[in-house]
Amino acid sequence: MFEDHGALAREVAQRVAATIRRANAEGRRAVLGLATGSTPIGVYRELVRMHREEGLSFAQVETFNLDEYLPMPPDSPHAYHRFMWTHLFSQIDIPKAQVHLLDGTVPPERVAEHCAAYEAAIAAAGGIDFQLLGIGKTGHIGFNEPGSGLDSRTRRILLDRITRRDAASGFFSERAVPREAITMGVATILAAREVAILATGEHKAAIVRRAVEGEVDHQVPATFLQRHGAATFYCDTAAAADLTRIATPWLVDEVQWTPELEVRAVIWLAETTGRAILKLSEGDYTEHHLGSLLARHGEAGTVNGKVFWSLNDRIRGRAKLPHSARIVVFSPHPDDDVISMGGILRKLVENGNHVVVAYMTSGNIAVFDHDVTRHLDVLERVARERRLDAAFGAYAGAVRDAIAAKQPGEPDAPLVADMKRIIRESEAVSGIETVGLSAEHARFLDLPFYHTGTIEKKPIGPEDVAIVRRLLEAERPHYAFVAGDLSDPHGTHRMCKEAIDRALTELHPARPRGVQEPPPEYSDKTAGTFTPEVWLYRGAWQEWPVAEATWLVPLSREELKLKIQAIFKHQSQKDSAPFPGQDDREFWQRVEARNTGTAGLLDRLGLAEYNAIEAYVVD
């Protein structure tokens, strides 16, 4: 387990390098099994760095990739063939003849022959020394979907609907995702001498626990790795969060009690027993492996009271929120601000704060083509009826032609992408107007890393950091609100946070951390130094657990309704969002359930009963 994805990538890359050097020292080629997806990208970047800076050679390396969509041309932006040459092969010294990739263009009648030849090539190479894997939400490895047999080999496979939905964001719709693929089989993977399976992000936590701690099950192919003699799971802390040793360590070993762990344990005990915190008894503690916590405090009442008041002190109504301060809200996409913190945003406005909302990316890839044509129709009608410049007709025609010419899964033409950007910017302004702000409070940063036209983004670069830094220097905020999601390490939310962190580090190399009141110099915008207090919010998918939250902000029924109305302003994301994930509910429905669910937990724990609550963590 690693604190961050970078440390994980470096460790796995070192294991790969050790495999190469060991095999070469034995006078043979190292044979690597490689995976695609966002998680291994960091490993490939580190291997490229080691090749360039440390002389790691791939001249005596042979590679076999796990899988490929079917059908899939090798030059498609979605092809794993293209992915591997982009992220690794084109930047190292591996001979092309030693690279083996499954062919997504093989005719249906030759797929079985192609798969058999692939297996024969692996055997001829001496078998795989080191196999790199990711894990899907269903527990699939490669494209070995639930139900894959222990003896399965490289073959054609029908993709599970959950797998296709997970891939939909990269293809701009689920309909564009191929229904079939070719994949190494479970037996092929288990035949590797060493296996490394990577998982990052909180969205993988449940399946990591199932794969590591659950029974071996054909419905969860990753559980077969429990039978491998040298298989290692590499996780960041978010992906490991549900493992028993992390979530409830008192169930497996003695623990060193900290205030944070005590709060987690008491909340867990209250939820497990169905009792409010102040009603937990000594018997509850001893019967649920928490005798050492009880012994630490002497009696149940003492620890109950300590945790109860700790949680109670985290509740911050409007009166306890910032007043007359300068605040920057960083929103990775044009709707994350109102989805995640629409309630507190309204309170901050009411408290007389100067609030600026910085939209970090255009979010244009998350707009359907039919939304563009709908807006064009309105504009065309206005142009005709008001006899506006005929040049608009040519522009509208060009946009329509570009949409008509686009093939499923292809990136948008620049004209279309720009129109989608404008749509999302207008929705963002309408959203913040609902909570009391106006267009002059919006800043559209349009960071360059997002300009790829696809779901896969460029690494955060100096230009991205410079744009964020200029905004911070211009606004000199007392507080900065930042998306703190811990999902995809190369996802937009996490990359935006990286840009903010780097900008703050440049401004303050030794920035103090923790909760602090704004220093006196904040009263003067021309003061020489400023250190904003960073509040992390969560996105549309998860909320901060109560045990981790620094502040819990209650929302009245009216405030929650206003927040939902602000979310409604993002019409391009309503009814059927382009990237819904595995949750079919609309964003407003997820928000309502999440915020009322947090309030419901506090009620069950015996604290005050609120309608809804937003949670924040001070970084």
Question: What is the secondary structure of 179-211 as a DSSP string?
Answer: SEEEE--HHHHHTSSEEEEEE-SGGGHHHHHHH
Q: What is the pLDDT of residue 528?
A: 58
How many Cβ atoms are within 10 Å of 316's Cβ, its own excluded? 18
Give the domain ranges of the chain: 5-244, 249-312, 321-368+402-618
Q: What is the pLDDT of residue 577?
A: 60
Q: Please, are residues 547 and 262 in contact by the beta-carbon 8 Å criterion? A: no
What is the model's pTM? 0.86
Rounded Cα distance between 362 and 606, Å, is: 43
Residues 6+ apart with CB under 8 A from 410: 77
Q: What is the pLDDT of residue 517?
A: 46
Rounded Cα distance between 585 and 563, Å, is: 17
Q: What is the pLDDT of residue 260?
A: 95
Q: Which residues are catalytic?
A: 145
CATH superfamily of 321-368+402-618: LmbE-like (3.40.50.10320)
In this structure, what are the phi and psi dihedrals at residue 48, rounded to the nearest 5 degrees? -65, -45
Rounded Cα distance between 200 and 483, Å, is: 17
Would you tell me the crossing angle of helices 41-54 and 80-87 to the nearest 10 degrees? 30
Give the 3-state DSSP-derived string for 23-59, with helices as H, strands as E and coil as C.
HHHCCCCEEEEECCCCCCHHHHHHHHHHHHHHCCCCC
Please report, as a single letter, which amino acid is at residue 502. R
The alpha carbon torsion through 162, 164, 168, 170 (nearest 10 deg) reads 120
Structure tokens of 435? 């909570």
Of 427, 407, 548, nearest in space to 78 by CA: 407
Q: Where are the alpha helices (DSSP H) in 386-525?
A: 391-405, 414-434, 462-475, 492-507
Rounded Cα distance between 564 and 373, Å, is: 26
Residues of the chain with pLDDT under 70: 455, 486-490, 510-529, 539-540, 576-583
What's the CATH fold of domain 5-244?
Rossmann fold (3.40.50)
Q: Please, are residues 147 and 216 in contact by the beta-carbon 8 Å criterion? A: no
Q: How far is CA 473 from the centre of its chain?
A: 28
Beta bridge mates, 220:
217
DSSP state, 315?
B
Length of the chain: 619
The alpha carbon torsion through 582, 587, 590, 594 (nearest 10 deg) reads 130
The answer to whether 5-244 and 321-368+402-618 have equal CATH topology is: yes
Q: What is the pLDDT of residue 523?
A: 44
Please report, as a single letter, which amino acid is at residue 547. A
